[in-house]
Amino acid sequence: MVKQLCKNCGAIFFDKKQSTCPVCNIPLMEVSFFTGRKIDNLGGESRNKYIEEIIGHKLDPVLVQKQKEYFKKSYEESKEILQKRIRKSEESRINEYQQKYLAEHNIHCPYCNSSNVTKIGIVNR
């Protein structure tokens, strides 16, 4: 649900992590629960018109383009971070499996569990 709105460029934010708009550096305006739900449910041109009613002026196409670029860049960064986390967890899971596999299939003495074993040859008998 939409929690904040920029009075200048009309950017919407779903959390309260920021106090200023990252697109145009203007303080963000908090929206009520019902306004946030309405913005959430609307889409496309009807959403833009409703935002224009709230902020009291038309949306500047240049700022709208900056919004799109900012959110696209933000999405790419978060996607990259997520992929790094997934890759790291997969690598750790593989390492765990390899260590477990090596530990299970290591030859050891059944009496004392020593892994210092050698094959008995004809000379050693």
Task: State pLDDT tens for residues 60-89.
Answer: 888 888 989 999 999 999 999 999 999 999
Distance (Å, rounded) from C-alpha 88 to C-alpha 92? 6
Whether the predicted model's global pTM rises above the 0.95 cut: no
Q: Which domain holds residue 77?
A: 4-104
Residue 109 resides in a domain: no
Reply yes or no on whether the pLDDT at 108 is more than 80: no
Distance (Å, rounded) from C-alpha 112 to C-alpha 4? 67
For the chain, percent of residues with pLDDT exceeding 90: 22
pLDDT attached to residue 87: 96
42: how many CB neighbours lie within 10 A of its CB? 14
Contact call for residues 21 and 28 (beta carbons, < 8 A): yes
In this prediction, residue 124 has a pLDDT band, given cuts at 50, 70 and 90, of low
Residue 24 resides in a domain: yes
Residue 98 resides in a domain: yes
User: Rounded mean pLDDT of 40-49?
Assistant: 86
Task: Give the chain's domain count.
Answer: 1
CA dihedral 20, 25, 31, 35 (to 10 degrees): -140
